[in-house]
Structure 1
């Protein structure tokens, strides 16, 4: 999987984001990171790609994974 295929929307200091990142790194999967704003009102891009405004969100070219548990479950299938 190419790095350009996955994008992780994250917030600095978010423990759920760190958990998702750790799982990606453990699997050796490359990804791009996009830092989101702390204010939920400024997270319009997340709403467009995932239908929610919370992080983490992992976006694959073919779809999005919401929440750390969903990201880890998807990784376990890889």
Structure 2
């Protein structure tokens, strides 16, 4: 099972998602992206856009952005 979180250092929305994943005791890989939107080619390749955070959850075939959507997904899928 592979989960990947694309995030930017100092991004409060990224931190919220990472914190929730830690609270849920989920294993995931962090991919730290460049601050310049134009340099976020990895993010664009997986999600079709360059904004972060982006979560890729291979176990469920899910790729999503927008922290609120990701938090809801995490709670629904992995919460108690």
TM-score, L = length of structure 2: 0.87
Q: How does 1:18-33 map to 2 (within 5 A)?
A: 18-33=15-30
Deviation beyond 2 Å, 4+ runs, structure 1: none
Q: Does 1:69 align with 2:68?
A: yes
Query: In the comparison of the two structures, how many residue pairs are matched?
Result: 75
User: Structure 2: which 5+ runs fail to align?
Assistant: none
Work out which of the residue numbers 1, 5, 10 in structure 2 matches 1:8: 5
Tell me which residue corresponds to 2:48: 51
| Per-residue Cα deviation, 1:11-59 (whole angstroms, up to 9, x for no partner) | 0000000000011111111100000000000011111111110110011
1:40 aligned onto 2:27: no
Relative to the length of structure 1, the TM-score reads 0.90
Aligned residues: CA RMSD: 0.9
Distance 1:65 1:41 in 2: 19
Unaligned stretches of 5+ in structure 1?
Answer: none
